[in-house]
Structure 1
Amino acid sequence: MSWIQRVLYGPARPSVGSWKPLRFDSGAFHLKGTAELARALLVLRLCAWPPLVSHGLALQAWSQRLLGSRLSGALLRASIYGQFVAGETTEEVKGCVQQLQALGLRPLLAVPTEEEPDSIAKTGEAWYEGNLNTMLHCVDLSRALMDNPNPAGKSLMQLKVTALTMPLTTPFQKELTSWIQRPGASSELNPKRLAEAMDSGKDLQVSCLNAAQSQHLQASLNRLHRVAQRARAQHVRLLVDAEYTFINPALSLLVAALALRWNSPREGGPWVWNTYQAYLKDTHERLERDAEAAHKAGLAFGVKLVRGAYLEKERAVSTLQGTKDQTQPDYEATNMSYSHCLELMLRHVSNHGPSCHLMVASHNEESVHQATKRMWELGIPLDGTVCFGQLLGMCDHVSLALGQAGYAVYKSIPYGCLEEVIPYLIRRAQENRSVLQGARREQALLSEELWRRLLGRKA
């Protein structure tokens, strides 16, 4: 039996000296075409320019007025859209994914449909039902993409809960969140009761909500249940996107209900993974508590670990409301938090095997080095229940090095029409300013590789 363990999982605790760190240098770019590298360098430099990110939506509108929709759209497709988006049609998305798979990378589809807290509220069940159909199509597409040519790989997709439930700018969300935080609310609003309502489809009566709000909650549960049901049938795992802290209590309750219903190891779970943001002070404590709770309940546990993208918004809301700032004081503290959370989850994976899954979603080379080293020391297989994630069009020197070394690496790829995706990309850029401005090393490596090709030097 011991030799089978060694074959499947490698040595239990190999010596640190035998581990060799991956090289994240320009050598990874040898796999990509010159035109691709040139576009990447141009776009990353543009995105690192703060005025462009801050005023992106206004500049887009100005460009359309000045150049016309057709020319403006062509320029965007040749630059930002082409760099960060898989395409609009199914065939375009498939072509992008085939290119990724040829490089040893996998797709993590992301539907650019969501509702921002400061946007005009989209009301009516029809809007949410439309988003439901889009999500179901994303599930089907995610599965179809992995059938060609890598059927052994896990199919993953991102799920934005606020596209299917709860208008963020209405009293409904505020009342529900406030009620959840009351000591006596657990009997009415708990994951088990919501999971039962998902399964039965019966109306869920909650005393803090009026009849219309209760109907919306039940419809929201039904939509989430249908997505999870389709994902399970298609063997696609759902990675729930992170949200703003001030709406997390309500959304975490819904995700917990989904996990309770769909994360049984007997069904091959976890099918629903939650995202944990290391820039929040309580993340390590919550992660440890949730991991232990899942283990005690006999549930599989799936985690996407990120540093977090809403730092500026979180601090602004905290200042405006006069509440305690829940974010880490600086970048170094966030790095330390991420490192501690990563260590916690890798040990959990090592102890609980196939019932615990982790995505190390990071562009930080030190975090990736830590993860690969600890995986080796703990005997976690390269292509097992730990995978890595980066954004399409960014951090390719890390993604390609990981993929070529045999690790499971996913690129988060939005897809859709130009009119929908560009505003989405601009919002993501505003949320990820530090990542974009910190991509100087990637720009330097791109320049190095382009100069090498221009001067005809050998690699």
Structure 2
Amino acid sequence: MAASIFDNTERAFILKSDSELERAYFLFKMISKEPLVRIGTAMTRFALNAHLPVEGLIRSTVFDHFCGGVNEEDCIPVLDKLYEAGVSSVLDYSVEGKEDESQFDACLHKVLELTDFANEKDAMPISVFKPTGFGRFAIWEKKTAGVTLNPEEQKEWDKIVNRFDQICKKAKETDVAVLIDGEESWMQDAADDLVADMMAKYNTEKAIVFNTLQCYRWDRLDYLKKLHLEAKVKGFKIGVKIVRGAYMEKENDRAKAKGYPTPICANKAETDANFNDTLRYILDHIDDISVFLGTHNESSCLLAMEIMKDKSIAIDDKRVWFGQLYGMSDHISFNLASEGYNVAKYIPFGPVKDVMPYLIRRAEENTSVAGQTNRELELIKAERKRRKI
């Protein structure tokens, strides 16, 4: 059964109408062609910046496929439909690139609201935010580099710490896990240290606060092992989301430009091995470490299922979650959910213009993972044939 679990297209696309399936086919056909993605993203940026009336077109195509809506209320029908099919949701307020204190405070209030919202909705057991949603990238970068902050910068940093603490405290009070996204390596050490402090404070009984390990970095398993030792000494549980990673080209380009060894694995095979080794380590220490597997890789999902079976970890053990992005890899999400595993879709939402940087990155990432896009197309074609569309 395991080898073919992800081939069941009837389950995979159970929530898609014929017209939505046709839209998915059209979008993935477009995404599979790199020149079209480059032209399309450039035209979209231009049209939005020039205030051309294209939001309706974007909303009815790429936005509605990959996003839940423009606000929380807009997302409720999506959350409810997913939950009826056994899939939970992680609402991700995907507004990026903000730089001033009022915007950071607005992001804080939004994440607090979302955590309360999650507390009221069984369909939403998890909340999420990005470190740079709560403070300027430059501050994170200086802290990571060990540069002494001036008094004004120190005030900014203190506000960042306070924002983190407010969210993690709320998460503990509401029993809603909070995933803290990983970002670029040259700001990540400061984020790692702050998240570890939050874990020590709030993960006393179980994992509430989760850090993100981007496993295309060859040092992440060693980092996790050191964190594990710290957790044992201080008496806290670890929560980690493991992903392959989202900033590879930027990381390699910066390392080359500045003349330091790249933090990124040499190739995809090494990244896959690093991800799977990290997964094995976590499941070997499930009493200490809870995991959210953020992956669209079928082999890694099958490996997790196999290890869970070998170690007699119940398929619905709340310390193990599988997660995929909304609009992608439904064959993984819905087939795992149908077997009883804990599955959540990451659902970005926000104003169309503000969410476009996220959507453009998704499209660009998909063109660089040709096998994945081809797999999506193959499955959609199979379902169209099954439905005789």
Taking the aligned partners of 1:292 and 1:94, their CA distance within structure 2 comes to 41
* 1:373 Cα offset (Å): 0.8
Contact 2:96–2:357, Cα closer than 8 Å, also in 1: no
The match for 2:144 is 177
Taking the aligned partners of 2:52 and 2:74, their CA distance within structure 1 comes to 24
Contact 2:180–2:210, Cα closer than 8 Å, also in 1: yes
The match for 1:37 is 21
Matched letter for residue 86 of structure 2 = G
Contact 2:31–2:366, Cα closer than 8 Å, also in 1: no
Contact 1:73–1:418, Cα closer than 8 Å, also in 2: yes
Identity within the alignment, %: 28
Taking the aligned partners of 1:45 and 1:139, their CA distance within structure 2 comes to 36
TM-score (norm 2): 0.93
Taking the aligned partners of 1:277 and 1:340, their CA distance within structure 2 comes to 13
Matched letter for residue 381 of structure 1 = A
Taking the aligned partners of 1:298 and 1:65, their CA distance within structure 2 comes to 51
* 1:48 Cα offset (Å): 2.5
Contact 1:47–1:436, Cα closer than 8 Å, also in 2: no
The match for 2:126 is 156
Contact 2:68–2:348, Cα closer than 8 Å, also in 1: yes
Taking the aligned partners of 2:49 and 2:374, their CA distance within structure 1 comes to 32
**Cα pair distance change 1:378/1:63, threshold 3 Å:** same
Contact 1:21–1:373, Cα closer than 8 Å, also in 2: no
Which of residues 338, 342, 345 in structure 2 aligns to 1:411? 345
Matched letter for residue 231 of structure 2 = A
The match for 2:217 is 280
Which of residues 411, 417, 422 in structure 1 aligns to 2:356? 422
* 1:52 Cα offset (Å): 4.1
Contact 2:96–2:355, Cα closer than 8 Å, also in 1: no
Which of residues 314, 317, 327 in structure 1 aligns to 2:264? 327
Which of residues 27, 35, 58 in structure 1 aligns to 2:42? 58
**Cα pair distance change 1:452/1:90, threshold 3 Å:** same
**Cα pair distance change 1:76/1:348, threshold 3 Å:** same
**Deviates further, 227-236 or 27-36:** 27-36
Contact 2:95–2:350, Cα closer than 8 Å, also in 1: no
Matched letter for residue 118 of structure 2 = S
User: Residue 439 of structure 1: SS of its match in structure 2?
Assistant: helix
User: Residue 6 of structure 2: SS of its match in structure 1?
Assistant: coil
Does 2:102 correspond to 1:132?
A: no
The superposition leaves residues 111-141 of structure 1 with CA deviations (integer Å, 9 ceiling, x where unpaired) of: 11333xxxxx723x22211111111122122
Taking the aligned partners of 1:425 and 1:20, their CA distance within structure 2 comes to 32
Does 2:93 correspond to 1:122?
A: no
Which of residues 300, 303, 308 in structure 2 aligns to 1:367? 300
Matches for 1:104-253 after TM superposition, within 5 Å: 104-115=86-97, 122-123=99-100, 125-146=101-122, 155-165=125-135, 167-168=136-137, 170=138, 172-179=139-146, 208-253=148-193
Taking the aligned partners of 1:306 and 1:235, their CA distance within structure 2 comes to 23
Contact 1:29–1:446, Cα closer than 8 Å, also in 2: no
- Gaps spanning 5+ residues in structure 2: where? none
**Cα pair distance change 1:436/1:161, threshold 3 Å:** farther
Q: Report the structure number with the largest CA radius of gyration.
A: 1
* 1:432 Cα offset (Å): 5.2
- Gaps spanning 5+ residues in structure 1: where? 1-18, 116-120, 181-207
* Pairs aligned (count): 386
The match for 1:262 is 202
Runs of 4+ with deviation above 6 angstroms: none
**Cα pair distance change 1:275/1:433, threshold 3 Å:** farther
**Deviates further, 246-255 or 431-440:** 431-440
TM-score (norm 1): 0.79
User: Residue 212 of structure 2: SS of its match in structure 1?
Assistant: strand
Contact 2:111–2:167, Cα closer than 8 Å, also in 1: yes
Which of residues 93, 108, 131 in structure 1 aligns to 2:75? 93
**Deviates further, 442-451 or 369-378:** 442-451
**Cα pair distance change 1:66/1:135, threshold 3 Å:** closer
The superposition leaves residues 181-224 of structure 1 with CA deviations (integer Å, 9 ceiling, x where unpaired) of: xxxxxxxxxxxxxxxxxxxxxxxxxxx22221121111111111
The superposition leaves residues 47-106 of structure 1 with CA deviations (integer Å, 9 ceiling, x where unpaired) of: 23223444554211444599941xx22221111111011112333211000111121101
Taking the aligned partners of 2:349 and 2:129, their CA distance within structure 1 comes to 14
Taking the aligned partners of 2:214 and 2:43, their CA distance within structure 1 comes to 31
**Cα pair distance change 1:431/1:321, threshold 3 Å:** farther
**How large is the Cα RMSD of the aligned pairs?**
2.2
**Cα pair distance change 1:240/1:156, threshold 3 Å:** same
Contact 2:93–2:350, Cα closer than 8 Å, also in 1: yes
Taking the aligned partners of 1:301 and 1:29, their CA distance within structure 2 comes to 32
Does 2:251 correspond to 1:314?
A: yes
The match for 1:185 is none
Taking the aligned partners of 2:6 and 2:274, their CA distance within structure 1 comes to 23
Which of residues 51, 74, 78 in structure 1 aligns to 2:60? 78
Taking the aligned partners of 1:446 and 1:431, their CA distance within structure 2 comes to 19
